[in-house]
Each structure stands twice: as C-alpha cells, then as structure tokens.
Chains A and B, each alone.
Chain A
Amino acid sequence: MRGIRIVILLAAAALLLSPFLAARPVQAPQGGGAGAVSATIAPPQGGGAGAASATIAPPQGGGAGAASATTATPQTAKIEAAPAAPAPAKKPAKKAPEKRTETIVPAFTGIKEQTAVYVFYAWLWLSIVVLIYFLRLWVRESDRVYHAKYYEPEESPRKANPLPQVLGD
C-alpha cells in the first residue's frame, strides 16, 4: 500500500509539473489566420527550440484559386487556338517546391492549441490519480474477499448468509 501511495504522490507531482516541463515557444499566427502553418524551424546549428524561429507561410494565393490559375481547362485551350483572339499572357510555370534545409522542431500552432493540450494533460493525470484511487479500493476489497475464501463453498462465510439462496444464486 505504501508503494501505491508513492505512485499517487508521483502522479500528482507530474500533473503539477507537466505544464512547466513542457514549456515550448508558441508561434503567434502571423497573418495566416487559421490556415497558417506555424511550426518553429530552427537552423541546423541553432540548438534550442527557440533559436532563430521562422514561420512557414502557406503557399501564396494557395487553395482552389491557385490551382485554377495553373490548370488548363478544355475551354481555355479552345480560346488559345482561335486566331482572332488575343494571345493570352503566358502563365508562369508552376514552381517546383523549394527543398527544405532546416530542421522542423515540433511546436504548438498557437496559444489555443497549447492551452488545449495542457488542459488535456491536466485532465489525463487527474483522471489517472482518481482512477488509481478507486482501483486501489477495488483491489483491497477483492483481496479481502479472496482471503476470506468467500467464493469457496467449503469455507465461505457465505454459507451463513441466506441472501444468495433467496436470490437464487
């Protein structure tokens, strides 16, 4: 039982300390709104998570609009073929994505996510402590029932208890 008490104490300590242990830089979303990707990127030589952090911006003009600008539909092909029509301005070729050279260091995408994670962790540890408390009681009771040989018909104190017979057990 002493060991279990130590486990409960350790779990409670971990619960209290986890937000401080997990302190990591939070990137404020920079003009990207909900779609902005804000992982902290550290250069290979920059040790800590906070060193020279940058923000990966979403593709400029991305989304459905960007896709339609570069995709030739059958209709646009027809217009290009017509001699009377003015030649459409040459669309810039789709740029190949640049090769990333930095290391991605995991980080929260915003204060909302950070708070959500910390609240979840607090709830997790609290649930663990509460569950262990009740499981410990259950274990104690199970052991007591077993050592009393409650379910062994020969020696069980149940013999004197008429209730199971009344209930048809």
Chain B
Amino acid sequence: MKIDMKNVGAWFDDRLALTPIFKYMTKKEVPQHEHSIWYYTGSSILLFLAIQIVTGIMLALYYKPTLEGANDSVARIMTEMPLGWLVRSIHSWSATFMIAFVMIHLLAIWFTKSYRKPREATWMTGMMLLVVSMVFGFTGYLLPWDDLSLSATKVGTNIPNAIPVVGKWVTQFLRGGDDVTGDTLTRFFLFHVCILPLVIFAVMAVHILLVQKEGMSVPLEAEIKKKKVPSLPFWPNFILREVMIWLVLLGTLMTVALVFAPSLGPSADLMSPAPAGVKPEWYFLFLFQTLKIFPGNMGPVTGEFVAVVLILLAVVAIFFLPFIDNKPEGKKGKIINYLGVLGVIYAIVFSIWSLL
C-alpha cells in the first residue's frame, strides 16, 4: 500500500491546526535595537530545560530515592554506567546554566523596563519560574545524599522555622518530620521529578503564551517618542540567529561538563555532625550569607526571623515590581534601576564573602 505523504501531512495539519501556527510564525516580528541581544536569553533557558529533562530521565533510570540506595545508586551511575559521570555532570551544569540565564533574563527585563504595562503578568510568571528553578536546584542538591548535601538541606529547610505560626509546619512539611531523614529524600525526589516539572510546564506555558500575546517589548525611549523600531521576521531571520546561539551554548555546556565534572562524597551519616564549610549552591550563597550576618537576637525576635522577613519582603516587592514602578520613565523608574544595580552588587559581594 502506497502512503501519500501529502495526505498524511494534510491529516496532521487538519487535526493539529499547524497552518495557523506556521502562518503566525512567519507574521510574527521581532524588534531590532541595541538591546535585542537580551531576547535570546529566553529561548536559551528552554534549551537548558530540554537538556535537563533528557539527562534527568537518563539518571532517573538508575537512581534509587531511598536512604540506603541513594548515594550508592549515584556512585553506580558514575562508575558502572557508560559515561554516567558525564550525564550527571551535564545535568548538574545545565541546571547552573539555566538558573544563570533565568537571572540574566530577569535583570535584562528589569533594566530595559520591559515589565511595564501591558506585560505585568509576563514578569510575574517569569518571577515564578525563577523561584521554581531555584527550588529545582534545592531539591536536586539533596539527591546524591552525601554529607554536604545533607547539611545544606538541614540548613535550608530550617530557614522557614524562623517564621512565626506557620514556620514550624513548613519545615516539618519539607522534611517529612522534625529532622532531615530518608523521608525527606523521598519527598525531595518526588518534588524534583514530579511536582516541580508539572508546575514549571504550566507556568512556562502561560509565560510563553503571554509573550506571544503581547509581543516583544521595544525600548522605553522609542515607546515614549513613538519612534518606529525596525524589526525582523521571527521565521526564519530570528530563529536562525537563535539556533546559532544554542549551538555555541550547547558546545560550551558539554565542554564545561567534561572539564569540571562534579565528584560524589561518601554516603551521608544522619548521626554525624555537619562537616566544616557547608555551602549551598552558588545561587543561594548571598541569601546564606545574609542569614549569617544577623545576630542571634534582635530585641524580642530572633535575628534569623528579621532576615527571613526582609528576604520575603524583597521577593514580594520584586514580584509586584511592575505595579511599584508604574511610571518607569520618571524619577521612580530611575531609582528602581539604581536599586537593581545595588541588588546585583549586593548579591555578588555577599556570594564572594560567603566563599571566603
């Protein structure tokens, strides 16, 4: 029986409505200006997420989320599976690259003020994606179950304890009890491979939909002066440029993963004291140092409580930034830009301080 590929194509086109999508892609235009380079950071995040999904599935084939099996299964992946150590390294480094690109993307939007009306919801979903990405990193850090990951998780899950009323409950919920145990490991694994992927896909779908609905933002000055910004078609002009950047990033990621493959410590001992020099992942370092500089007691409340409340307030303020910075072209807009610069300097200085 001869299959007419034209008919097969027409069948898929009819059922999946591909023609309108392709038509949209050819009609869609991307503004070209001095800040256009930042547009590419968004799609790069998708590339790293795809790599993480593929390598994550490969690792999950052999990983055992139990107290006895977790560390040994990672050791097995690294020593017995063909190039298992490289797959693990690519997974770990793509997480680092992804979070770095999410942060760069967020900062680019902050400084170009692309969150202004009508893109408030796009910014808010983007912030949610940053938080989800960081939680991905936090839950993934425990999975190798070595001393370092256990201690870092103990510190991390203890932070909500400082919040009155709900804090203790949150800590117990995260740990699956009063302390970090095998139940925490199972719980973190479930979050890492089941709940968080569902959340990230849902939020990302809304985020991408909003980006398509509102289109790419143009520079603020051009919008104020009502200047027409030149543009390029999304297909093929923009997407081809994106592919070039993806290829370079892919090569860089693979090379970094080969050269700086992570090692694996011995299995964590729940009874042993925390090893010296426990550090969280790099993207939590500045928060970790912030918690450390607060004194034990500050009047009627603990220093940790004050630090946690300040961090939460900062996160909430950043989440609602488009509403706070409602006149981006004015003085308030400039102040918010300076605050952004200060925030970046603060994060870099505190991260370095934490490493010293």
Contact = CB atoms under 8 A, between A and B. Distances in A.
A117 B83 contact: yes
Interface string A102-145: 11111101000100010001001100100110011011001100
Interface string B217-243: 000000000000000110011001101
Report, nearest first, the 10 A-B pairs whose CB atoms are least far apart: A106-B85, A39-B79, A106-B261, A104-B264, A37-B79, A128-B247, A142-B237, A105-B263, A128-B251, A22-B258
A7 to B, nearest CB: 6
A98 B243 CA distance: 49
A100 interface: yes
26 contacts: A4-B244, A14-B252, A14-B255, A21-B259, A22-B259, A56-B79, A100-B72, A103-B265, A104-B78, A104-B79, A106-B88, A106-B89, A106-B261, A106-B263, A107-B85, A109-B82, A117-B83, A117-B258, A128-B248, A128-B251, A131-B247, A135-B240, A135-B244, A135-B247, A142-B236, A142-B237
B150 interface: no
B86 interface: yes
B139 to A, nearest CB: 22
B264 A121 contact: no
Given A113-B82, A121-B254, A146 B247 contact: no
Nearest to B232: A146
A94 to B, nearest CB: 15
A125 B251 contact: yes
Given A107-B85, A121-B258, A146-B233, A102 B266 contact: yes
Interface residues of B, number: 36
A99 B272 CA distance: 14
A96 to B, nearest CB: 10
Contacts of A39: 78-79, 85
Contacts of A101: 266
B267 interface: yes
A42 B41 CA distance: 38
Contact of B266 (A21, A99, A105): A99
B155 interface: no
Contacts of A106: 78, 85-86, 88-89, 261-263
B80 interface: yes
A35 to B, nearest CB: 9
A138 B72 CA distance: 49
A100 B259 CA distance: 25
B264 A103 contact: yes
A117 B266 CA distance: 27
B247 A100 contact: no
Contacts of B83: 113, 117
Nearest to A138: B240
B343 to A, nearest CB: 29
Given A101-B266, A135-B240, A143 B232 contact: yes
Interface centre among B75, B83, B240, B261 (most CB of A within 10 A): B240
Contact of A18 (B255, B262, B265): B255
Contacts of A11: 248, 251
Contacts of A22: 255, 258-259
B108 interface: no
A114 B266 CA distance: 25
A7 B247 CA distance: 11
A132 B89 contact: no
B244 A132 contact: yes
A103 B264 CA distance: 6
Contacts of A143: 232, 237
Interface string B120-146: 000000000000000000000000000
A42 B264 CA distance: 10
B203 interface: no
B237 A146 contact: yes
